[in-house]
Structure 1
Amino acid sequence: MNFETIKFGINGGIATLILNRPQVMNALNGRMRAEITRALTTLPPEVRCVVITGSGKAFCSGQDLTDAGAALDLEATLRDEYEPMLHAVRDCPAPVIAAVNGVAAGAGANLALIADVVIAAESASFIQAFSRIGLVPDAGGTWAVPRAIGAARAMGMMLFAEPVPARLAADWGLIWQALPDGEFAEGVATRALQLAEGPTGAYLAIREAVAASLDNDLDEQLKLEARLQGRAGQSNDFREGVTAFLEKRKPRFSGR
């Protein structure tokens, strides 16, 4: 596939998607949104993990405010361009790591936060910047942020639009991990390989269960767990995991 605004490659079952407009801090325009969606919805079966990161000093500064088409009708842009992109991340057939290498602002922050796991460099920060220009947080921010850190902190982030450093974001539970900058690339690579070698079907079932738990009552969640576990128990990966445990060796998961 040929792309203009992202770099995309696959190596060893790991797909790496790099937002590649460093001259504007990887701001999202219509073409970039379409290319992210296309890359994630056409993954070949051998992909077992996806890493999304940014080129240059930023992860993503959010909506490109010079993108004239988006400014004409924000509601239509969100519905027709952002929603497919966010669903492509959330419904990806492999676990997704957002590797936040620098500032993640506005829709760029929320693109990262909808991933399965967020790992950030300590120099990175997260900004719900929308109120600075008289807008409401979008791109899933009002869904993801309160669920991660609670309403009080979410309101503070959104009303004051101040940067939250990566280390504080990790302490709050907004992200999984903040790593020293010098350890960031190796740390992301290690985690990506761990997921790529793991039981993909189980990972996707975990995603489904955790997402549902935020709305289910206990009985509903227990029923969902039983259904998902029944399905996982029929998988080749479960059989391999048990066999490897009994043989005292590392399992060789196939993702099926």
Structure 2
Amino acid sequence: MQRNIPLEDVVKNVKTSVAFTEIMFSLQEMKGNVALILEDRRMNTYSISASTERIESEISVTRQQLNHHLEKLQDHFVAELTKAVENSTKQIQSFIMDLTKKQRDIEEWIEDVESIKKNATDKQTFLGMTNLETKLNKTSNDLQSWIDGNHLSQTVVSFHLDTLLHDIINERTKFGKVVVHAMPSKLALKRRMLGQAQMIKVNAKFKSSFEHMTLKLKVKMSTNAFNVSGCCILPNGNLVVSNYDPSYLILIATDGKTGIELSASCKQSLMLHVLIMTLLP
């Protein structure tokens, strides 16, 4: 059976009720939790900024190390190139000196022929020709040996770039890879439940699903409300049903049989939500 209770009796001493005190503590607690979360998010932005500066610094150091290493490789390569060019140049210059001397000898021999032609007797001419012929044969043999010995080969200087450096220049398109991932939060928040302060852990990876839930009817409750605008289950298991017009609340106990009807105007309906915690045990 439902029994009517005057609203004046219900709202009496509401400001000193347990429900009103719980709401005040819960609001203060929620304020503190929001402040903690806000500070945590701000610190996260600061840490992201610090990480960005650290990464840029490490990239800069790596770049300097690469530059220093490449400079060492370049210096070593230039030294090797200089040595190879000097050796080749010395060989060519030595051959040029031999050719220059041979050129002077040939010019002297031509002058000797002209002098023999003008001034030498037949006997002197014969002896001179024999000597010149011997020199010509030796010079001809020297020329042939130079040709056969690759003294006349064209020296060309070039280089082959190391395969790894070639890959860096032509195939490497990134300095590295940026990785952004979310870590589970370790922030501890407070939550009041059933009049007791509790600690909860924020788990960023927590996911809930209703796909495998099975509903089971436990209690049937009846009410004379015909314009229901909402309902809620109190922490103690009791049910509150709100009727829109006319405006009143019906509180039903967990057994579904007993209830209390509270009448109220539209202005008073908001206050009733504050009072529901004090109405039933």
Q: Same fold (TM over 0.5)?
A: no
Name whichever structure is richer in helix by fraction: 2
* TM-score, scaled relative to structure 1: 0.18
Larger radius of gyration: 2
* TM-score, scaled relative to structure 2: 0.17
